[in-house]
Amino acid sequence: MKIYLNGKLVDKNQALVSVFDHGLLYGDGVFEGIRSYDCLVFKLKEHIDRLYASAQAIVLAMPMNKEAMMKAVIQTLKVNKLRDAYIRVVVTRGEGDLGLDPRKCKQPTVFIITDKIVLYPQELYEKGLAIVTVATRRNIPEALSPQIKSLNYLNNILAKIEAINSNTEEALMMSADGYVAECTGDNIFIVKDGTVATPPKAVGVLGGITRDAALVLSKKMGLETKEVLMTRYDVVNADEVFLTGTAAEIIPVVKIDGRSIGKGKPGKFTQNLIKEFRKITRIEGERYDL
């Protein structure tokens, strides 16, 4: 496996980052998770735009322009001969000292990993996922904007640990005010009476690329869509529930906190949405040849 590291493609065991890198010491950096399907990088431009927006928000000067970054992603996929892959693009503040001062970091670190990922077994896409509401609350937007995909994911990891301890695969996180926010790595949607709803970004959720795609597809499929504050009561009484994310794609939820959703199996709309989403992953993005 070759890793893109600061302009060079190096072997995995040579892809080394300094222990003084502020991405490691303080989580000071940004990242994107992207997917490629049959030699097409799904919504590459949208992901790179979001990466640069995250960098702008934390005053991180990117060492290359967007076009060069997209070329680096394609280059890394091609050298590893990957048709279908998960892509992780990471930009850190760079090597500094043990202090917080970002001015001590003279050059950002950029690395790109292309590999396979299986977030959930296929069986869960067919039978549905059980999730649990956890005590760990989502970070408040006033402290750290959820639109920044930073390298500090401890909030999400603590919630994931609670899910694991409850023998479930995923955790539903609430906002500080007690509204439904998102899961540890996915956005959440409910279907109720012909309407598809998801929490608004202002409540403390990431504006996911797959989230946006699901909203667009839902409208095309004839359902009303809305972003609205919702409580756990709204979720457990939904007709259908599903999660969206780059790694997870679209996955149905059939049980929350021991309560069955709808008929306790993936709903018809969610099943159709999964099919429609899988179609666009083959046509919307940047194509490359091996």
Decide the pairing of beta strands 249-256 and 129-133: parallel
Tell me which residue has tokens 């043990």.
98
The CA distance from 129 to 207, in Å, is 22
Give me the numbers of helices (H) and strands (E) for the chain, helices first please.
8, 16
Tell me which residue has tokens 């109720």.
192
What is the length of the chain?
290
Residue tagged active-site, from 45, 71, 116, 149:
149
Task: Let me know if 149 is a catalytic residue.
Answer: yes
The CA distance from 276 to 278, in Å, is 5
CA distance readout (Å), 283 to 82, 98, 222, 269, 276: 17, 46, 21, 22, 12
* Contacts of 62 by beta carbon, 8 Å cutoff, 6+ apart: 52, 55, 69, 91, 108
Bridge partners of 34?
A: 87
The CA distance from 15 to 186, in Å, is 29
Active site residues: 149
